[in-house]
Structure 1
Amino acid sequence: MQKGLRLSKVAGAMAALLMAGTAATAVAAPTHDKAVIGYLTQWEAWKGTDAGFSVKGEATHLNVDMDIYSILNFSFFGVAKDGSMHSGDLRNKSIYQPNAVQEPGPLLHPDVYSSWDFHILWGELEYIHEYPGNEPWQADALAKVKAQGFVKDGRGWKHEPTGITGQMPIPLKKEGGAPGLIELANQKGVKVMASIGGWSMSKHFPEMAADPVKKERFLKDVDALLALGFHGIDIDWEYPGSGGMNFTGTEADFANFEQLMEDIRERIGPDRLLTAAFKAVPAALEGFNWDRLVKSMDYFNMMTYDLNGGWSNVTGHNSPLYPYPEEEFEGLNLDTLKNWMVNVKGIPSQKINFGAAFYGRGVQTTESTAYLGAPTDKRNVNFSVDGPSVSAVDLDNWKAFEGQPNYNYIIKQTGWEHMWDANAEVPYAVKGKYFLSYDDPEAMRKKAQYIVDNDLGGIIVWQVHGDIQCKGTFVNYGTKLKQCTNLSSPLAEEIDKVFTNGNPTPGNTAPVLTVPGAQTADAGQVISFDVSATDKEGDRLTFTVTGADVVDNGNGTATVTYKAPNTSVDLTETITVTVSDGKKNAVKSVVVNVKGEAPLPGDNNPPVLTAPATAEVKSGETVVISVSATDKDGDALTFTADNGAVVTPTASGADIAFTAPEVTADTVVNLVVTVTDGKATDEATVAVTVKATEEPNPGNTWDPNKVYVGGDTVVFEGVTYKAKWWTKGEKPGTSAVWEAQGENPGPNPDPDPNPGTTWSASKVYVGGDEVTFNGEKYRAKWWTQGDEPGVPFGPWEKI
C-alpha cells in the first residue's frame, strides 16, 4: 500500500515555503516533556467584539503563543458520503435533519473572500484575478504565479505541489508577508495536525470505515493533507459505537475504528503523528481493543469537558477534576476516567491527554437563585448546528455563544457571584436563576499538576483562542490577518508554568487497597462488605464507590452496601472501589453474581419506545414519522400521538402521519408519541420543525432544499446563475457559490443589440470579459462583481 505521497514537481522557492510542513525533524517548542495540544478552528476568526475579541480576525494562527503549544490541530475537515474529505466551511448545515447527507466538496474552500482556509494555512495573500498571459505587462505576475506552482485549470487554477484547485483569484502567497500556520509552526518547532470530523461532520465515518472503496477515497485525501504540509492526522469521529448527529453507532464501529487507525498509520508511515479524540465516558469506551490501538496511535485525546450542560437535569460541572456529591451521573470526571484507563484497562499513561476547556457552559434553572445541583429549566431551542432541541441552555447571558462563552468573554461580565467547589476542584458562578460552569487559572493549575503527578501524556485545549487577550495593538497583514503586539493567554500560561516548573509530589506513593473476592446476592437483596487501605505516608484516605453506596469508617476501612436489581435472569454486576490519598489513587473491582428470580404472576415489564428526536415538514404538508417499540412480555401494543396525528400500525411499530399547520415563519411543534401494553406506557417527544413556505417568484427554478453541484444552472429573481461547487440552501445573489450568467429577459424581452454583453451588478466577471454600459464598451482587468464600469482606478478599462 502507498505510504505518504510522492511529489513529482515542486515549483520554485515560494512553493517550498507553502510545503514547509513536510520537514519532520523539528523539536517541540516547550522545554518540558508534556504534550500541549491546542485545537485551532477555521471559523473562530469570523468572531469579533460580541464574542470577546478585540477585532474580527484576531482569532487566527498569528495570535497563538507557540512557545506554549507543542501541537496545533487545525479543525476541521469533514467526511462526505463517498468517503472524501471537504473543508469544514462547506459542511451541510442541515446535516442534523433525518436522511440528510454531506455531498463531496473541495478540501480547502475555493473562495478566499468567504473562508479563512487559505489565509490561515498559507498566510498573507495577494490576489491575481486572472491567470497572467504572455504580454510584457503581465511578466512579473506570471513569474510569481509560476514560482509558487500555480497553473491554469479551466477558468480557475491548480496548485501543482499540493494538488489543491480553486476559483479566481489566485491566492498568491505575499512575498515577505505574514506566514501561514504550518510555516510559522515549523519556525517555532510546533507540529500541526489535520483534525477530521467533529460533532457536525462525523455522520459518514461509520460507512466510510466499513467500506473499502470509500476508505481508499478517504486515504487519498489523507495523502493530500500530508502534501499540504500537515505533520499528522487527528481523528474526531464523534462517536464510534454510541453514534452522533443524525447517525447511530453499532458494535462494528469499534473494530472498524481500530482498522482505520492501522490503515492510516500504514499510509502516513511511522514518523508522523496519529491521534484521536474520544468521549470521556468509560461506558462508551469499553468496546475498544485498547491493546490494538496502543500499537498504532501516538495519543488518546480524552474530551474531559461537555460532561454537563443544557441536556442535564440538574446543574453540574463542565469539566470536573474529581467526583462531587451533586453530580447527576457518577464517574463523569477526570480522576475516575484516569483510574479506569490506567488501572482497569492498563493503557500507558503517557499516551493519555486530558481536556482543558477554555470556555464555559451556562444553563437556566427552575430556582430563583441557582446553585450546584439545582433542577434545570428546559424548553425548545433551535440551535444553529444541532437544530431543534430540548435544552436548558442559558441564551439570556450567552446568546452569541449559544450558551458556551469563551473564558476571555466570561471574565469581562459583571453581576455574577463566583464560587469554588472543593470536591470537584473547579469554579462555577451564579446570577439569579442562571448557572455557569467554567475553568479559571486555579482550575488549570490543578489539572496540569494532576497530569504531572499521574505521569499522563499531556493536555488538549478546546480551543486555543478561548482565553487570548490582546494587551497591545494590532499589525494588519492584508485585509484578513491581524497580529497582536502584546498577547496574553492566562489559562494556557498556567498550564505551561506547571508543566515547566512542576514536579510530581515528592515522596508520595499510591495507597494500597484491599477488597474481598466475588460476592453473591439474590434479586432485590441488600448485601454489605468491608474494604480497607493503607498509605505509606500516613495520608488521610477517602473511599468512593461506583455501583453501590459506601460509608467511610474513618480508620482506613469502609463499608460498601449494594442492592441487587429485581431481575428474572442471572446477572453479573461490577462494583468499582477507589481510594485516594489526595494525590494518587488505587482502584479495584468487586464482582457480584446476582441470581435472578422468576417473575410472579401478574408482574409486567413496560414497553420501550424508540422515536426520532426531530423531523421537518413544510407548512401545510404531511410528514410520516416511523416509530417502533419492544415489550419483554410480548404484550400487544397500542400507539397514540397528539396534535391530530394519524397513527397507522406497522410490523415493528407505527407510522405517525402529522399534517403541519399553515405558518408564516418557521415553527417547532412538539409531537408526543405514546405506546402502551394496557398496563404501562412509554412516551417520546419529536420536535417537528414546520418550515414556512416562501412566496415563489414566478419563473424561479432555484430550490433551497435541493442539492446543486458545479455546473448546475438555476433562475432566481430574473437572473440565471451557475453553481461553482456543491451547494444547498445558499441563495443566489447572496453567496459566492453562485455565478450570475446574465439577466433572464422573461417572456417579452426588449431587443438587445448586444445580447449577453450588458453589464449586470449581480454578475461575476473575470479578467478579459467585455460588457456594454451606458453605451460604452469596457473590458475587465481582473475579477469583479458590482463595480460599475467607468469608475476611475476601478477594474474596468474602456475599449
Structure 2
Amino acid sequence: MKKTFVLIKLLFLSVLLQAQYQFPACSPDWDAAKDHYKKGEQVSLDGINYTAKYYTSAKPGHASWQRDGGCGDGGLGPNYSGKQRIIGYLPTWIPDYDIKNNFNPEVVTNINVSFLMFKRNNNNYNSNDFGSIALDEFQLKKVDSVLTDCNVLAKAKAKNVKVSVALGGATDYAFLWLMSKYYNNDQKLEEIATLLVNYINERQLDGIDLDLECWWADPTISGTSDQGGRVRGSKWGDGDKGPHNAAIGLTNLSKKLREKMPNKLITAAVFGTSWYGNNYDAKMADYMDWIGLMTYDFTGSWDKSPVGPHSSLHKLPLNTYQGQSVDNPIYAAEDALEYWMGIADPTWNHAGGFDVKKAKLVIGVPMYGYDFSEKKPNGGNGAKFVPYRDIVKDFPNAATSYDVKDPKKLSGHITLNGKNIYFDTPKLAGEKIKYTKNFGHQGVIIWELTQDVDYNSSSSILKAINEAAGNNTSINSVPIVTWKSPMSNQVFEVEKLSEINLKASATDSDGTVVSFEFEYDGKMISATKQGNEYTASFIPVSFGEVLVKATATDDKNASTTKVLTFTVKKKTIGTNLPPVISKITPIDLSVTEQITLSNIVLEATVTDDVSLNSVEFFIDNVAVTSIMNNNGVYSANWQPAAFGTYEFKIIANDGEGASTSSLTSFSIKKKVSGSICDAVLEWKSKIYAQAGEEVKYNGAIYKNKWYASSSETPGVADVWDYIQPCNGDTTNNCGVSTWIASKAYNTGDKVYFEMNIYKAKWWTKNNTPGVSNEWEFVSKCESMSKISELKYPTVVKNEITINMEINQESDVKIELYNFSGQLIKTLISEKNFKGIKILDKDVSDLKKGIYIYKIRVGNKVITEKMLLTK
C-alpha cells in the first residue's frame, strides 16, 4: 500500500512537470458575424477561452469578456525541434580577459559580439540630429578588433559556430532615437537596413542581434525619460495602447533585414517582464529566428529592489524574500515565458501578455550576481554587480552553494564575511537549458562569456550547460605565458646597443608545453629551458621602442602569444637635457579668494632624463621647503602673510649640472562677504544619503544626484553635479571655463586644463582633456602675458605647421627629439622674438613613430609628444 502511494505520487509529480503548457479544450470559436453574445456564453479566440460577463457584441479581449486562460495548445505552436542553442554574448570592453588566447568558440552554438552602436551627435535627445544613420566609429573599431585581431570569427567558423553582431545595448540611445523618429519612414528604414546588411556581408557574419533598450532616463542626456509601465490592456479590460513607436520601427526594420538577408540570422534581446517589455511589438517575431528574454536583473538593479535571486528559473511565492510584495514582486524565467507567450495572469498593465510562439523563445543565464551588502559603486543604482568568476575566486565553494529558501536548491547564495550575494550556479544553468528542451523553447542566452571560470573547472557554468544539453564538448586549455623580464614599458639607457636578456615562463594545465620561442623583428630567438622558465638574449637593431613576442605551444597544437614592449634609449656622453617643470599649482595669474589667510598648496611636476639633484621653491625669492611625492610631484604648504600678488619661482637642477627655472604669479584676494558659498557647508568625507544636498568643494558648489558615499569626491564622482563657482566667475586667465570632471560638455565647448585649451569634439563627461579622444587640443595657455597663442600639431604626416603669437619679447626655441632622447631637428630658434609667425617644416625624411617636442619660451619649458604617420 505504501509502495502504491509512492508510485502514484511520483506519477502525479511527473505529470505536473511535463504539463506546464497543457490546456483544457477550446470553447467554440468566437464568431465575428454574430450579432451579440449573452452573459455566460463561452468562446475561444487565438488559443484563449473567454466567458461573456454580460450582453456584448465586442471582440474577446474587451472588458465585457472574462479571460479564462489558454485552451488547446494555448496558441503556443509546436515545440522547437532543432538542437538547443547556447547563445553567448562576447563584449568588447573587458580589459583583463585575453580573448585572442583564452576564448574557445566551441563552448557555444552562437556568438553575439557586443555592441555595435549608432553614431550619436550631441547630448540633446530632443534635437533634430541626435542620431545619425551611421555606425559609431569607436564601437565599430572595437567590434572589428574582436572579430579579426582577436581571431574570433576565424576560430568560430572553423568550429561551425555562428557569429552575429549585437547592435544597441543599454547605452545606445541613438538606436532608440532612430527607431522612434523613422518608425514609419520607409526610405530611412531602407537606409538603416542597407547600412547594417552591408556591414554583415562585408565581414561575412552570420547575422545580427537587435538589442533595443534604453527605455529609461539618462541624467547625462537631456530629454530622456523613463518609458516603463506602458499599458497593453489590463485585468480590468483597459484598452491596449499598442507598442512604442520605436518598437514598431524595430519590427519594420526587421522585415527589411529579412527581405535583404533571407538566410541570415535576425534575432533580438528583450526585457522579460511587462514594465519595459510592454514597449515591444510582438510582430517582430515573424521576421526573427529567436527572441532572447533577458531573464535576469529581476532584483538588484534598482535601489528599492527586493533582496533575493535575480534570475530564478521557477516562480517564487510571495512573502519569501525581504521587500517582495504584489507591487514589487520577484519575477522568474517562468513568469517571463508566460508573459511573452500570452498565457500569464492579467495584471494592471497587461491582459495576459504577447502571443509569441514558444519555439521562438530563449531564456537568460547570467554569469554574474548581485551583492546586496553593498551599493553599486560611484553612485550607481541598485546593489553591487559581481562577476561569477570573482564570486568563485573569493568563495571556492560558491558553485555548489544554494539558497536555503529555494526548495529546488538551484539558486546560489553566499552569506559569508558579511556578504549577501545571489547568483546562478552551474546546476541552475544546466536546469535552464533542460527546461527549454522539455517545454519546447530554443535554448539560452548568456550574459556574458568572459565572466565564467575556466571551462575545465568543475565550477564552470558553460560546462554545466553543455553537459545538460547532452554536448560532449571538451576543450583544450591553452598554455599560460608570463613575462618575467624585462618589465613592460621598462626603459634601458645605454651608450651603445647591447644584449638584452629575456625570461618568461610557460605552463599548461591539461597537457604539456612542447615548444617555446621568442620573436623579435620577424626573427625567432632560440630559448633555453629550465623547468617552466625560458631564457634568451638578443641585440636590438636600433634605439627606440622594442616589441618582443613569447609563444608557447602545447601537445594539442594550441598556442598562446604574449607581447612585451620596452624602450632602449641612447645615452649620449656630453649631452644632457635639462629638467622639465610642468603642472604648476597655483596656475599662473590665478586668483584665490579667502575669508581669512590660510595655507596655499604649492605644487609642480619635475622630471629629468637622468636624475634630479635638487628642486627648490621660492615665494618672492624666499625659500619654501618642499617634499617629493609620487611620480615626480613636489609640493609644499605655504602660509601667506597678507593678501596680494606673489611670484612663485621653481629652480630644478639635475645630476649633471643642467638647470631649469620657472616663474609664475598668483593672487590671494580677500573674499567679499555675502558670497554664494557662505551659506553652503563644506564637503566632508561622509555619506550623503538624500539626493539634492549642496556642498562646496575647491571653490565651487555641487549637488548630489543620488546617494553619495564618503569616498565619492565632488568634481570627480559622477554622483555630484557641478552647479557654479563660489565667486561667480566661470573663467580663468585664459578666457575659458576650467574643466570640471563631473560637468557635461557639448560639441564645441572649450575648457582650460593643465595650461592647455581644449575643445569638445562631441558630448563628453568625466573624460580628461589631453588623455581622452573626446577632446581636441586647441592651444597652449601657460601665461597670457607671454604666450598669446602657440599651436603645434600632435599628429602629423610629412609637414609640421607651427603657429606662434608671442606678445612679449622672449627667446623661443622648439626642438624635436626621437623617443630615445636624440635631437633630430631644431624647428625654431629665435632671439627676442615678439609678434606672429607661421612656420612649415618638412619632416618627410623621418621614420614614422613617436617624437618629442621640447619648447622653450623665455623661462618656460613645455614637453609634448608628436605622432608621425605615413
So what's the TM-score if we normalise by structure 2?
Answer: 0.46
Structure showing greater radius of gyration is 2
Higher relative contact order (CA 8 A, sep 6+): 1
